Structure 1
Amino acid sequence: MQYDFMKNYSDNSIAFFDFDGTLTSKDTLIELLKFARGKTRFYAGLVVLSPMLAAFKARLISNQRAKEIMLSFYLKGMPAEEFESICKDFAATHLPSLFRKPALTELRRHLQNDTQVVIVSASPENWILPWCQQFNIKCIATKLKVRDGKITGKISGRNCQGNEKVKHILKKYNLSHYTKIYAYGDTPDDLPMLSLATESFYKPFKEQLI
């Protein structure tokens, strides 16, 4: 669908935005891990994790399993309070540079036109939610398990990806209440979410950053 940046929106509408790759130019999980552990340690870890990454690319293990292995490797045992502090710092200092300018322009236009905006992401909510709260934006995202006050590296429930995005959306929202439903995504995993929309946009934003 051709994208129209000058479009006006109904106030009885809702817009669902994928986060990584749609609003941002990079995978924010990777950027968060670099921020939390330092680039040297992060890239050294990729060497250790290379068999897992190869298995994931060959589709021998699921996205959720691969994500949990990576999260466990870098974060397991970190106090949850420390992790939350790192995520808030990342959201405030590093996340803004990762956003695509046209994507933020579109998101802000929705907000100005009283469209309810919801971020729906497979990345953990820990650094997305602090950003969303600044603008009264709702957030549906993957949740991490915490045990005894520490990060376990495991995901609570299912990774918020593909059909799981649809399940979460339908659990929280009665879409029959909205005259317009917008959805934005950039990968095949976003297609189930886009199928819910009255107007969907696949890879709509250019590689321009703020």
Structure 2
Amino acid sequence: MKRLAIFDVDYTITKKETLMELYKYTIKEDKRNIRFLPRALFSGGMYILGFYDEKRVKESFLKFLEGFNEKEMQRLTKRFYKNRLSKIIYGDALKMMKKLKSEGYDVYLISASPEFYLQELYAINDVDMVIGTRFDFKDGNFIRSMNGNNCKGEEKVTRLKEVLKEKEIEVDFKESYMFSDSLSDKPLFELVGKPYLINYKKKHQIEILRWK
């Protein structure tokens, strides 16, 4: 049976929220993308007020990528990983991945962030699987329509089990790890025998690790 080391991404292995970093990176490449900032602020405000759910917020926010074809998107996400995303990953997270990989664990990254750019995290040699929120392309062009549910909370467990079933992988969850900065990952914490909170600011019964 496999043993997994599962990691959330935003604020767990990265110092910042990755989707916002992608948006800021596109502004750096093309200053005209600043025009999408009011939409981002409006969508965030509507979410805080309870008018938008996370799916609608993400679909609205991703307007700045609408119309990118798949090849353009691949080139963008590779540049984003090389020039920005790779530079905001905690060194301690990479060390933990390497350590657990050397002990025979498979390293899975599971995040609510979009999978189309998280795929670049396969560049980390120790990563075996990346699971994120899926978005659609139509006729080869990005349409910012979420495919399925936002990969958060219980949906992370659902997506994980779908992947394991598809690949016919049996897992010893009691001997598996889960690392996250947030209690929104409670379903995954409860699934494994070795849960850890990362840089959590309050006291908790789950052991807290401080990563830099």
Question: TM-score over 0.5 for the alignment?
Answer: yes
Q: How far has the Cα of 1:43 moved from its partner?
A: 4.7
Which amino acid is the alignment partner of residue 16 of structure 1?
A: I
Match of 2:41 in 1: 50
> Which of the numbers 106, 125, 144 marks the counterpart of 1:153?
144
**Structure 1 gaps, min length 5:** 1-10
Match of 2:57 in 1: 66
Which amino acid is the alignment partner of residue 121 of structure 2?
A: W
Match of 2:79 in 1: 89
- Is 1:206 aligned to 2:199, yes or no? no
Are residues 48 and 170 of structure 1, via their aligned partners in 2, closer, same or farther at CA, if it must alter by over 3 Å?
closer
Q: Distance in 1 between matches of 2:83 and 2:42?
A: 33
What secondary structure sits across from 1:164 in the alignment?
A: helix
Instruction: Tell whether the 8 Å contact from 1:68 to 1:154 is kept in structure 2 after alignment.
Output: yes
- Is 1:193 aligned to 2:188, yes or no? yes
Which amino acid is the alignment partner of residue 176 of structure 2?
A: I
Q: How far has the Cα of 1:37 moved from its partner?
A: 3.6
Q: Distance in 2 between matches of 1:151 and 1:40?
A: 21
User: Root-mean-square deviation (CA), in Å?
Assistant: 2.2
Q: Distance in 1 between matches of 2:143 and 2:135?
A: 8
Q: Distance in 2 between matches of 1:56 and 1:169?
A: 27
Which amino acid is the alignment partner of residue 100 of structure 2?
A: H
Instruction: Tell whether the 8 Å contact from 2:93 to 2:211 is kept in structure 1 after alignment.
Output: no
Match of 1:143 in 2: 134
> Which of the numbers 146, 171, 181 marks the counterpart of 1:177?
171
Instruction: Tell whether the 8 Å contact from 2:4 to 2:108 is kept in structure 1 after alignment.
Output: yes
> Which of the numbers 87, 90, 94 marks the counterpart of 1:100?
90
> Which of the numbers 91, 116, 120 marks the counterpart of 2:106?
116
What TM-score do you get using the length of structure 2 for normalisation? 0.84
Match of 2:115 in 1: 125
Identity, in percent, stands at 24
Instruction: Tell whether the 8 Å contact from 2:110 to 2:132 is kept in structure 1 after alignment.
Output: yes
What secondary structure sits across from 1:173 in the alignment?
A: helix
Q: How far has the Cα of 1:145 moved from its partner?
A: 0.4
- State the Cα deviation string for residues 143-163 of structure 1 (Å, max 9, x = none): 110001111011111111111
Q: Distance in 2 between matches of 1:107 and 1:134?
A: 9
Q: Which has the higher contact order (CA 8 A, sep 6+)?
A: 1
Q: How far has the Cα of 1:205 moved from its partner?
A: 4.5
- State the Cα deviation string for residues 10-33 of structure 1 (Å, max 9, x = none): x95211100111000111111112
Which amino acid is the alignment partner of residue 146 of structure 1?
A: F
Q: How far has the Cα of 1:101 moved from its partner?
A: 1.7
Q: How far has the Cα of 1:116 moved from its partner?
A: 0.7
Q: Distance in 1 between matches of 2:26 and 2:181?
A: 26
- State the Cα deviation string for residues 65-118 of structure 1 (Å, max 9, x = none): 1011001x2111112210111101211232121011211111111111121110
